[in-house]
Amino acid sequence: MKIIKLSAIDSTNSFLKELERKNDQENYTTVVANAQTKGRGQMHTKWASEPYKNLTFSTLINLKKLKTSHSAYLSFAISLAIFDILQEYDIPNLKIKWPNDILSGNQKICGILIENTISKHRIINSIAGIGLNVNQERFDNNLHATSMIHFLKKETSLDALLQDIVKNIKCYIQYIELEKFAALKALYLQNLYKVDIPTAFKDLNGHIFMGIIKDVTDQGTIILELEDESLKEFDLKEISLARA
């Protein structure tokens, strides 16, 4: 795989997107930075990471036939790829928080931002931006974050970990290329945080309500069973978990 290492950059996603725009890059080209000055997360949030301590990287994924109507499967595949690697390192109490954060207990250990290039209702390629907390020991108390070193009690090689993750992303993308959508979704739901458990959610107005996660659609929206036992569909712009 082609890995481009940078000392510092505003955003690895933005850098790789511009690189691909200028010249077609080989599949799974990965840009990794020791420091990101403008790392981005879901819904325009910022991803803060201590320089030289964590993995902040973006990987280009060229796709053959993924329809935009199945866009959620990219999120399923990438989050599961990282989830598996963290399991191999014996990180405890792992769950995937909808849509694709990775938690240990109720603390975030990894964030993912996926940006797609679309043509004629198909996703031509995607850039998966990943921030994984590895060797950072202290976090702002407001972040509810953790890292691998908290559990392993020793530093982890960033280079070896990066290689493992990108290889596993390749493996999970095969689910998509072979159209094994049902198997991929089953694995995702099996490891989804708070699935089938009454949970507090917050809407755009700050209103707190209870719901039970019953499903995630092919487009990535979430299906909740509400207190009156009705089912309602929400997207990421409409609601968030009130806690965790």
Could you tell me where the beta strands, DSSP code E, fall in 12-106? 30-36, 55-67, 94-97, 101-104
Note the CATH number of domain 198-241.
Answer: 2.30.30.100
Residues 70 and 151 sit within 8 Å (Cβ to Cβ): no
pLDDT band at 44 (very low <50, low <70, confident <90, very high): low
The yes-or-no verdict on residue 77 having pLDDT over 70 is yes
Residue 67 pLDDT level (bands cut at 50, 70, 90): very high
Q: Has residue 38 got a pLDDT over 80?
A: no
Return the closest-CA partner of residue 109 out of 125, 142, 131: 131
pLDDT at res. 163: 97
Whole-angstrom Cα distance, residue 52 to residue 40? 18
Beta partners for 206?
A: none
pLDDT score for 49? 81
C-alpha 9/C-alpha 81 separation (Å) is: 25
Q: Is the pLDDT of residue 243 over 70?
A: no
Specify the 3-state DSSP secondary structure of 7. strand
Whole-prediction pTM: 0.94
What pLDDT, in 10s, does the model give residues 110-155? 999 999 999 999 999 999 999 999 999 999 877 789 999 999 999 9
Query: Rounded to a whole number, what is the distance in angstroms from the first to the last CA of the chain?
Result: 35
CA atoms within 13 A on the CB side of 190: 9
For residues 34 and 51, is the Cβ–Cβ distance under 8 A? yes
pLDDT at 43 over 70: no
Which residue ranges make up each domain of the chain? 3-190, 198-241
Helix (H) or strand (E) holding 15: helix 12-22
* Nearest Cα residue to 36 out of 101, 113, 106: 113
Residue 94 tokens read as 């792992």
| Residue 5: strand, helix, or coil | strand
Q: What does the pLDDT read at residue 141? A: 77
Across all residues in the chain, what is the average pLDDT? 94
Rounded to a whole number of angstroms, the CA Rg of the chain reads 18
Q: What is the DSSP string of 119-136?
A: ETTEEEEEEEEEEE--S-
CA distance linking residue 35 with residue 37, whole number of Å: 7
Which fold does the domain 3-190 belong to in CATH? BirA Bifunctional Protein; domain 2 (3.30.930)
